[in-house]
Amino acid sequence: MSEMPDTTTTPHYTAEETRHRIFAIMAASSGNLVEWFDFYVYAFTALYFKNSFFPNEDPTVQLLQTAGVFAAGFLMRPIGGWIFGRVADRLGRKTSMLISVAMMCGGSLMIAVLPTYAQIGALAPFLLLVARLIQGLSVGGEYGTTATYMSEVALRGRRGFFSSFQYVTLIGGQLLAVLVIVIIEALMSKEQITEWGWRIPFVIGAIAAVVSIFLRRTLTETQKAETRDSKKAGSLSELFRHHTPAFLTVLGYTAGGSLIFYTFTTYMQKYLVNTVHMPVKTASYVMTVALFLYMCMQPLFGALSDRIGRRTNMLLFGALGTLCTVPILTTLQHVTSPAMAGLLIVVALAIVSFYTSISGIVKAEMFPPEVRALGVGLAYAVGNAIFGGSAEFVALSMKTAGHEQLFYWYVTVMMIIAFLVALRLPRQARYLHHDH
C-alpha cells in the first residue's frame, strides 16, 4: 500500500510566490463556500416558504413539492459538470469559475425577490424551479473547475494539504447556512420568518457571491494558452476515447464517497430523530459540532496524503468504510447519550475524511490538462447525483419497508467498490507534476 509521496519534485518557492498561490487557493475557495451556502439555504428555509409557493392543505404535500424542486437542482449537476468542464478546458479555469459563481448569485437573488403564489399564481413555483435549476447547473460546474484549479495552483509537495480546503469551504458553507438560520430564528418570530424573513439568507448569499466574483477576478489562469487552443480541449470524444478507464475510476469512488458523505452529513440529522429518537434540537446541536470537527479534520488528512500518498489514503478510506459502516450505524441505533452519538459520527466522518480531503486532487491527477476539468466535473456530478442525491431517499425507503439494516449493507457494498477502485489508482500522480 505504500507509494511515493508527493515530495519527489518539490521546487523551491519564493515567499512572494507562496503568498500568491495561497491567496489564489483562498479566492477560489471563497466561491465554493458561497455556492454551497446558497445551495443548502434552500433546504433549511423550505419549511418557512412552502406556503408562499405551494398552497396546499397538506404540509407533507408541500414539503414533497419543495423537496422535488431540491432534487431537480441535483439532476442539473451532471449537465453543469459537462458545460462548465468544457468551458474550463476551452476558455480557462478562471472564466468558468467566474461564470458559475455569477449564476449562483443570479439564482439566489431571483429566489430572494420572487413574488408568491398569491401574487402571480402558478408562475411563482415555476420561477422557483427555474432559479433552482440555475443553481444546480452552477454547483455542478463549480466542483470540477475548483478542484482542477486548486490542484494546479497548489504548492507542489503540499498539494493534498492545500486541495483539502475545497471540502473545508464546502462543509463551511453548510455550517454557515445553519448558523444564519439559527440567528434568524432567534431574532424573529415564526410569523415574520414565514412572511418575509426566509428571504434574508438568499440576499446574504447573493451579496457574498458578488464579493467572491471580485476575489476570483484577481486569479491568475493556470492553463496554458496552447492547451486551451488544442482541438482536444474540453472534448467529450477525446475524454472517452483515451481516458475512459480514468473516468470510470473517478466515477467508482465518487459513487461510494458521495453516498457515505451524505449518509453521515445531511441524512444523519434525520436518522438521529427518526431512528435514534433524539429531540430535533439535540440532533441539530450534535450535527453542528460534528460538522465543525469534520471541517477542521480536512487539512490534517490532506497533509497526511502528502506524506503517505493519495492511493494509501483512498485504500484506507475504502477498507475502514467497509469494516466500520455497519457497526457504527447499528451502535448508533441503541445510543441514548448525545455525546456518545456525536463521538460515533465524528469517527465515521474521520473515515470519510480520508476521501473528502483529497477527492478533488486525486481526480485531477487522473486527467491531462486539456480534459481535466471536464473529466473531474462530469464524473463527480454523475456519481454525486445518482448515489449522493438519492442517499436520503434510499435510506428512508428501506426504513419504511422495515429493512433499515439493508441500507447499512448498501453503503458497505459501495465502500468495497471504492476500495477495489482505489487499487487501480497509480502509485504516483500521472499528470500534475509536469503541466506547469
Query: Would you state the cell numbers that stand for residue 161, as one nine-digit string?
Result: 494539504
The predicted-structure confidence for 171-180, as pLDDT tens digits, reads as follows 999 899 888 9
CATH code, domain with 44: 1.20.1250.20
Q: Span 11-37, mean pLDDT?
A: 83
pLDDT value at 380 more than 80: yes
pLDDT value at 9 more than 60: no
Look at residue 3 and tell me if it is in a domain.
Answer: no
Q: Are 134 and 103 in contact (CB under 8 A)?
A: yes
Measured CA to CA, the distance from residue 139 to residue 97 in angstroms comes to 10
pLDDT at 57: 66
Look at residue 418 and tell me if it is in a domain.
Answer: yes
pLDDT at 5: 44
pLDDT value at 323 more than 50: yes
Look at residue 427 and tell me if it is in a domain.
Answer: no
Confidence class for position 431, pLDDT limits 50, 70, 90: low
pLDDT at 320: 97
Q: Span 3-11, mean pLDDT?
A: 46
Look at residue 202 and tell me if it is in a domain.
Answer: yes
Look at residue 9 and tell me if it is in a domain.
Answer: no
pLDDT at 386: 87
The predicted-structure confidence for 226-278, as pLDDT tens digits, reads as follows 766 677 776 777 888 878 888 999 899 899 999 999 899 888 888 888 888 88
More confident residue, 107 or 40: 107
Q: Are 166 and 360 in contact (CB under 8 A)?
A: yes
Look at residue 4 and tell me if it is in a domain.
Answer: no
Q: Span 305-322, mean pLDDT?
A: 94
Mean pLDDT lowest for which of 48-57, 66-75, 148-157? 66-75
Confidence class for position 282, pLDDT limits 50, 70, 90: confident
Measured CA to CA, the distance from residue 64 to residue 61 in angstroms comes to 5
pLDDT at 48: 84
Look at residue 10 and tell me if it is in a domain.
Answer: no
pLDDT at 429: 59
Q: Span 351-359, mean pLDDT?
A: 95
pLDDT at 413: 96
Confidence class for position 60, pLDDT limits 50, 70, 90: low
Look at residue 300 and tell me if it is in a domain.
Answer: yes
Mean pLDDT lowest for which of 50-54, 79-83, 184-188, 213-217? 50-54
More confident residue, 375 or 389: 375
More confident residue, 47 or 88: 88
- Mean model confidence pLDDT for the chain: 85
The predicted-structure confidence for 64-106, as pLDDT tens digits, reads as follows 677 777 777 778 889 999 999 889 888 888 899 999 999 999 9
Confidence class for position 51, pLDDT limits 50, 70, 90: confident
More confident residue, 281 or 161: 161
pLDDT at 434: 45
Measured CA to CA, the distance from residue 106 to residue 32 in angstroms comes to 15
pLDDT at 43: 75
pTM: 0.85
Q: Span 18-36, mean pLDDT?
A: 85
Mean pLDDT lowest for which of 114-123, 294-303, 331-340? 114-123
Confidence class for position 8, pLDDT limits 50, 70, 90: very low
Confidence class for position 293, pLDDT limits 50, 70, 90: very high
pLDDT value at 435 more than 50: no
Give me the number of domains the chain comprises. Answer: 1
Domain around 283: 15-422
